[in-house]
Amino acid sequence: MSNAARADLLGPLLKSVSRSFYLTLAVLPAPMRDPVGLAYLLARAADTIADTALIEPQRRLSLLLALRAAVGGETGEQTTQAIRQMADEVAGRQALPDEQRLLQSLDSALAILGELDAADRAAVRDIVATLTTGMEFDLRTFPAEDSGQIAALHDAAELDRYTYLVAGCVGEFWTKMTCAHLPRTFAEPQETVIARGVRFGKALQLTNILRDCSKDLRIGRCYLPTSLLERHGLTPGALLAPDASLRARPVLVELMATALAHYRAAADYTFSIPRLSIRLRLACLWPILIGLETLRLLAANDAWLDPEKISKVRRNDVYRFIAGSTAVVCFDGVLRGWMERMIRDIEARLGLAASSAVVA
């Protein structure tokens, strides 16, 4: 592949489809940027396939599994034809031109994957395989978006497993990439840091689940476990009622408490990065601050299950977090205080007992 084509794929195209995550990618140290960016592109293409509601779920599943096989190294006419079908069949159903171009660029993305060194190629294949397993779970578990039916996860263990498959594994991948390309970054054992990285990813995904719950319910997906709903006298269908936000408030509180515990592990992860590793620190700080702000908005939202009242962080606040954290990135005490104040404010809004400090 030419350097220009590679630069376009991992530059403008990546920026156009990665939204706020591109901020994190752009600030990453150079050695990590290509494998992490490529993994994001491949996972985003898979997610686009899985979410294209105009194609029936079984067909989406077939195409998703074909992409997983291609990323895993399978070759041959059948794989080539499947990639071509993704470009033709799925890309044509996308409203956004950038999503179309991503699917039409899969051959190029796979070519770049083949050019990575063996360790990075194996890591990218592994993370895409895990992420697509989470997408496969969605397609096998939930009804078609227009069916009028709702399915739900069963219990907390299934929710925890799901958050690993679609986000916790990213924290694991991120940490392994850091250890491979920036050795001696972490003073603690790799296993300890990976465990925190997994919880970091789970924190972000649980935040997304709670923020997007109202919209997911209306396409038949309830990620709030039935065992938890039943303890509060609720069913998945009851979450669509006008008074659902109030009745389900205890469910929100319980899951947000779990998310906050994960954010504390994410804070520990960030503070284990040396203070002078500025790019790596910022890449961790920004999603933590934006995630905590999302939880703060959720805690204050009395209509959190109303799809017209989504708790979304304003763009100006994102810029404020970027500017503020960049100014104090090397000052642990200031950052600890900032995160502690955010967490305690959320706990106060939820009526939770104050936790211990974010970092000892």
Q: Nearest-CA neighbor of 44 among 13, 11, 82, 81?
A: 13
Check residue 74 and give its pLDDT: 83
- State the average pLDDT over residues 158-176: 97
The C-alpha angle 92, 96, 101, rounded to 5 degrees, equals 65
Q: DSSP readout, 207-243?
A: HHHHHTHHHHHTTTEE-S-HHHHHHTT--TGGGGSTT
pLDDT of 345 > 90? The answer is yes
Query: CB 289: neighbour CB atoms within 10 A?
Result: 22
* pLDDT bucket at 360, cuts 50 / 70 / 90: very low
- State the average pLDDT over residues 109-137: 96
Check residue 354 and give its pLDDT: 58
Check residue 331 and give its pLDDT: 96
Please provide the size of the chain in residues.
360
Check residue 114 and give its pLDDT: 93
pLDDT of 359 > 70? The answer is no
pLDDT of 138 > 90? The answer is yes
- State the average pLDDT over residues 256-262: 97
CA torsion, ordered 144, 150, 153, 159, to nearest 10 deg = 80
Mean pLDDT comparison of 18-22, 114-118, 210-214, 352-356, highest-scoring range: 210-214
Contacting residues for 58 by C-beta, under 8 A, at least 6 apart: none
CATH of 142-360, one of 1.20.1250.20, 1.10.600.10, 3.40.50.2300, 3.40.50.880: 1.10.600.10
pLDDT tens, position by position, 51-102: 988 889 999 999 999 999 999 988 777 777 878 877 777 877 777 788 888 8
pLDDT of 6 > 50? The answer is yes
* pLDDT bucket at 2, cuts 50 / 70 / 90: low
pLDDT of 357 > 50? The answer is no
Check residue 164 and give its pLDDT: 98
Q: Nearest-CA neighbor of 208 among 162, 175, 156, 250?
A: 162
Check residue 355 and give its pLDDT: 54
- Share above pLDDT 90 across residues of the chain, in percent, rounded to a whole number: 76
Round to the nearest angstrom and report the end-to-end CA distance of the chain.
49
- SS3 call for 265: helix
The model carries a pTM of: 0.92
Q: What backbone phi and psi angles, to 5 degrees, belong to 151?
A: -120, 155
Check residue 262 and give its pLDDT: 98
Check residue 80 and give its pLDDT: 77
Check residue 43 and give its pLDDT: 95
Domain boundary assignment for the chain: 1-114, 142-360
pLDDT of 128 > 60? The answer is yes
